Structure 1
Amino acid sequence: MNTAALDNTAARPQADAAAQEDAALFRKITWRLMPLLCACYVLNYLDRTNVGYAQLQMKEQLGFSDAVFGLGAGIFFIGYAVFEIPSNLMLAKIGVRATLLRIMGLWGTASAAMMFATTPTQFYVLRFLIGVFEAGFAPGVLFYLTLWFPSHRRAQATALFFMAFGAAPVVAGPIAGLTMTYLDGALSLHGWQWLFLLEGIPSVLLGIAAFAWLSNGPGQAAWLSPAEKQRVARLLADDHAAHDAGGRHTFGAAMRDARVWLIGFMSFLIILGIYALSFWQPTILKSMGLSVLQIGFYAVIPAVAGIAANIVVGRHSDRRRERRWHFALSAVAGAAGLALTTLFMHEPLAAVLCLALASIGISAAFTVLWSVPGSFMTKRAAAAGIALISTIGGSAGLVAPMMVGALKTMTGGFTASLYVLSGALVLSALLMLVALPDSALGRARH
């Protein structure tokens, strides 16, 4: 009798049972963490991009030019970039609870104060301060996820988090359209003033909720049993050991790692499209003859498409443990959507469908890309590396609004900028396929 075969047969049910227990454990963790983190990210998106809708009224009522708006939209990212790495390094020391309370309380207050801006200088200062206060939020949460999820489960968790980024426009458009249409003039306030107020205050309240609800890591989670805490710790330790990149533990090591810079540049190319659309899509739709209210509801279509892509592609990438082609094909799809939009600039429905294809590709590519850093950085290096990648990528938020505004001024339309953004996505796909080394993909390489 073959005893090895018997041993394998006996071990298989045990392995299956352990896999089911692990799946149930991480579902429990997901349901505890992700709803609140996603709600925070929705407000993060609203408070940094609501100026894209507000400017539909602000430019006329305050006399702001496209150049003023483009600089004000972009200057946010100067403050964001300068303070992002210090914020993330501080998070690693003081924990996510205190960090989210600080970040969300301050950004919500500054965002609400935007209702008092009446001059370009005030506009610039408040946008800069919002960037300073928001710095570290998204990379901080991404680092936080590395404390809970092994790398082979992280793309799905990341997809859920970025789903909020995609879901935000679903509510952003209708909220902005309804607020600016029906509250315009209420209590002697303009519609755009109400928009800043009603989207700023909830961030403060949710920061308080995050402090009360979240724990800084599995070891401090009172809602996990001792056995569950030990299981998470063991899985994470095994995962870190498997992906330990030779003891890279410091910010200096992250600065010297070419993989970090390459992923940061790829993130920059993707985020160019994200923020160009976030700030200028309302203006693109307005140029097609749509009202503010119509713009708000048309914007839902690309947002819903992006959410679906986040979930489906992130889950499939995790299941196949493959990143390269999931990213590259998504980026090319996004490029095709942006390029096709230029053919339908006078047909709103067709243009929105093309923008939906762009949203599908950009959202999926962004999700898959952010599942990569944890595959080659250890826990201590992850805070610095993720912050550096996010800072490099986030600088696209400064470039994109001003670039699109400048090209619009030079050419009289959006066609040139859409082609530039499309080219950036194609370049990111090529870099993933030919430049990123296998060592950056850990177990995800195929």
Structure 2
Amino acid sequence: MNGRTSIPARAGDEAALFHRIGWRLLPVLCLCYVFNYLDRTNVGYAQLQMKEQLAFSDAVFGLGASLFFVGYAVFEVPSNLLLARIGVRATLLRILCLWGLASAAMMFVRTPTQFYALRFLIGVFEAGFAPGVLYYLTLWFPRRRLAQATALFFMAFSVAPILAGPMAGAIMTYLDGAAGLRGWQWLYLLEGIPCVLLGIVAFRTLPDRPAEAAWLHEADKARLQALLRADSPAPPADAHSGLGAAMRDARVWVLGFVSFLLILGIYALAFWQPTMLKGMGLTVMQVGLYAIVPATTGVIASLLVGRHSDRTGERRWHFAAGALAGAAGLMLTTRFQHDALPAILCLALAAAGTSSAFTVLWSMPGSLLSGRSAAAGIAIVSTVGGSAGMVAPVAVGAIKAATGGFTLSLLLLSSALVLAALIFVLYFRPGRPAMSGPRRAETA
């Protein structure tokens, strides 16, 4: 566009290129992910009022929270395979509009059956969003920059709780009774409808692939394609065998199981942390404000660890350190379940560890496979890992009902994180292909 025809080769040119790509893609994707988190976890705050009005037990909420992930798991792989065919724009339009409408419809729930049905449908409609975006990022970022791009995307997963707590507390406190609706009904409505608008924004602003990006010079497109070709594993000989190639790769299943162990802790806290804090004598508004501390710590840790992992090219010990820190935070929380301040600090340690480990883990799948195999592999990892959402909320609810507290649940979750660290370090040891990104001599 400006007369250049040569491919820029300097490190500064490359850094500027990926800086431009990041600013064009990630703000929209991150905003979508914030609402993705809000709409799948706002039931944790809504239940603080729904219990009183609808007489739902902890078991009902635990099962409803888990049914979301049943629908999500069933449709995860098909959604991601469809994305590889029709592109990210059409996929995000479909996903965001449908989940937004279903989430808003939660305001009409009156019976457990209605609650279960809508939670299941929200999972069906959300299926494929996060793994679809992760596959999308592999089309734009080489492996040595993928952890940082992934960290920036997953930063939304950590930022969302910072917003979720105060938003839920304010909506449920100050809108309770407005227009004849309870606070929990306003919560579902105000966090569901914006997703429809975001779907339209994503459709209009995101290109499906670099070749369609009008904001990139032709020389930059050529440079980007050269970097991606040099950095990616060869695609499968049969372009239609992507799912089969991914399913035959043991590393995909190991990553899925490690993700399952990690997400057990993440989702257990997402759904039950509000109840835990309220049990310490806090109001709904205070619960929302206190939740800012662990969420903020998670954001900072994921960005710092993701950046350092990219710079060094090391994945194993970055993941293990995060998982073990998360385990320590959960274990220490059991000592302070009746003292809000130290409990929040322990939960902050748990959030920092799990968020940073999550970021490092998701830099891995895109380096194992390419093309449709990458889309399928990412979806498999996400499906296996996300199935923890079927287990964690209902298991914690059942254990709480049986024991009267969260101690046993937190100890079991911390043990799962320790196991995740051991598996990751031992399986992805030096010598295994695609264990980590290449080491870099230059700085980003």
TM-score band by shorter chain is over 0.9
Q: Deviations over 1:344-392 (max 9, x none)?
A: 1111011000000000000000000010112221223100000000000
Instruction: Measure how far apart 1:443 and its partner are.
Output: 3.6
Query: Counterpart in 2 of 1:244?
Result: 234
SS at match of 2:335: helix
Distance 2:359 2:436 in 1: 17
Distance 1:340 1:64 in 2: 30
SS at match of 1:118: coil
1:421 paired to 2:413: yes
Instruction: Measure how far apart 1:436 and its partner are.
Output: 2.9
Q: Deviations over 1:393-443 (max 9, x none)?
A: 000011000110011011100000000100000000000111235224154
Structure 1 residue aligned with 2:151, among 148, 155, 159? 159
Structure 2 residue aligned with 1:43, among 35, 39, 49? 35
Query: Counterpart in 2 of 1:26?
Result: 18
Instruction: Measure how far apart 1:244 and its partner are.
Output: 3.5
Q: Deviations over 1:282-333 (max 9, x none)?
A: 0000111100000000000000000001100000000000000000011000
SS at match of 2:246: helix
Query: Counterpart in 1 of 2:262?
Result: 270
1:441 paired to 2:435: yes
Instruction: Measure how far apart 1:17 and its partner are.
Output: 6.3
Could you list the structure 1 runs, at least 4 aligned residues long, displaced by more than 4 angstroms after superposition: 245-249
Amino acid in the other structure paired with 1:78: V
Structure 2 unmatched runs, 5+? 1-6
Distance 2:336 2:438 in 1: 39
Distance 2:209 2:35 in 1: 23
Q: Deviations over 1:30-65 (max 9, x none)?
A: 000001100000000000000000000001110000
1:295 paired to 2:287: yes
Distance 2:411 2:51 in 1: 26
Distance 1:120 1:74 in 2: 13
SS at match of 2:338: coil
Q: For 1:200-211, what aligned pairs fall within 5 Å after superposition?
A: 200-211=192-203
Structure 2 residue aligned with 1:71, among 56, 63, 68? 63
Q: What percentage of residue pairs aligned between the two structures are identical?
A: 68
Query: Counterpart in 1 of 2:4?
Result: none
Q: Deviations over 1:102-136 (max 9, x none)?
A: 00000000000000000000000000000000000
Query: Counterpart in 1 of 2:3?
Result: none
Amino acid in the other structure paired with 1:60: E
SS at match of 2:22: helix
Instruction: Measure how far apart 1:156 and its partner are.
Output: 0.1
SS at match of 1:343: coil
Query: Counterpart in 2 of 1:185?
Result: 177
Contact 1:177/1:293 (8 A) holds in 2:
yes
Structure 2 residue aligned with 1:403, among 395, 400, 415? 395
Amino acid in the other structure paired with 1:281: Q
Contact 2:236/2:245 (8 A) holds in 1:
no
Q: Deviations over 1:214-256 (max 9, x none)?
A: 000100111111111111111111111xx33875852112111
Q: For 1:303-382, what aligned pairs fall within 5 Å after superposition?
A: 303-382=295-374
Distance 1:247 1:57 in 2: 55
- C-alpha spacing 1:445/1:120, structure 2 compared with 1 (3 Å): farther
Structure 1 unmatched runs, 5+? 1-14
* More off after superposition, 342-351 vs 434-443: 434-443
Aligned length: 431
Bigger helix share: 1
Distance 1:97 1:376 in 2: 25
- C-alpha spacing 1:280/1:348, structure 2 compared with 1 (3 Å): same
Distance 1:444 1:283 in 2: 44
Distance 2:337 2:379 in 1: 37
SS at match of 1:344: coil
Structure 1 residue aligned with 2:89, among 84, 91, 97? 97
Distance 1:233 1:435 in 2: 31
Amino acid in the other structure paired with 1:361: G
Distance 1:373 1:17 in 2: 27
SS at match of 1:363: helix
Q: Deviations over 1:262-282 (max 9, x none)?
A: 000000011101100000000
Contact 1:78/1:395 (8 A) holds in 2:
yes
Structure 2 residue aligned with 1:112, among 91, 104, 107? 104
TM-score (normalizing by structure 1):
0.94
Amino acid in the other structure paired with 2:59: A
SS at match of 1:289: coil
1:388 paired to 2:380: yes
Query: Counterpart in 1 of 2:118?
Result: 126
Distance 1:441 1:185 in 2: 54
Distance 1:190 1:254 in 2: 47
Query: Counterpart in 1 of 2:73?
Result: 81
Amino acid in the other structure paired with 2:147: A
Distance 2:391 2:344 in 1: 24
Distance 2:434 2:339 in 1: 43
- C-alpha spacing 1:207/1:246, structure 2 compared with 1 (3 Å): closer
Q: Deviations over 1:144-182 (max 9, x none)?
A: 000000000000000000000000000000000000001
Amino acid in the other structure paired with 2:347: L
SS at match of 1:371: coil
Contact 1:342/1:418 (8 A) holds in 2:
yes
SS at match of 2:369: coil
Query: Counterpart in 2 of 1:60?
Result: 52
What root-mean-square deviation, in Å, do the aligned CA atoms of Structure 1 and Structure 2 show? 1.6
Query: Counterpart in 1 of 2:134?
Result: 142
Distance 1:99 1:221 in 2: 18
Contact 2:62/2:394 (8 A) holds in 1:
yes
Instruction: Measure how far apart 1:16 and its partner are.
Output: 11
